[in-house]
Structure 1
Amino acid sequence: MNCYECAIQGLTAEAVAVCHLCGAAVCTDHVRTESVQLREAANPGKVIHDRPARRLTCVVCSAAEESR
């Protein structure tokens, strides 16, 4: 699978991830990574997991989230 962002620019690059929000395939140049805390009712009194999770997004979705 190839990177969607590269494809719309007329380039070809192998995708390494899929955007968590829109599902677009992205290459290493167009993927954005962030750490997030998972929240759920795990045990009584504990709603946050100890280790952060990884969340991958494309440049478009990342920019949209930052503009809020």
Structure 2
Amino acid sequence: MKPVTRVLLSGVMKYSEETIDDENDYNCLDSVIGINWIAKGIICIHTEKKELVVTISNEPLVESIA
């Protein structure tokens, strides 16, 4: 599957991650399942293996790359 959208997060003030699936091979690529706003300036990125929480000071830049 070919990526169709690029999301750039700038002004990162805080970053944390939690591993959801320790069973998978970490040499494999990890796919983004969803990106959600938790609160103003806080984004949660869900992947097959991790949950990433990023606090940003700027609006994300979203562009089509298809």
TM-score normalised by the shorter chain: which range applies? under 0.3
Bigger relative contact order, structure 1 or 2 (CA pairs below 8 A, ≥6 apart): 2
Greater helix content: 1
Higher-Rg structure is: 1
* Greater share of strand: 2
TM-score (normalizing by structure 1) = 0.27
TM-score (norm 2): 0.28
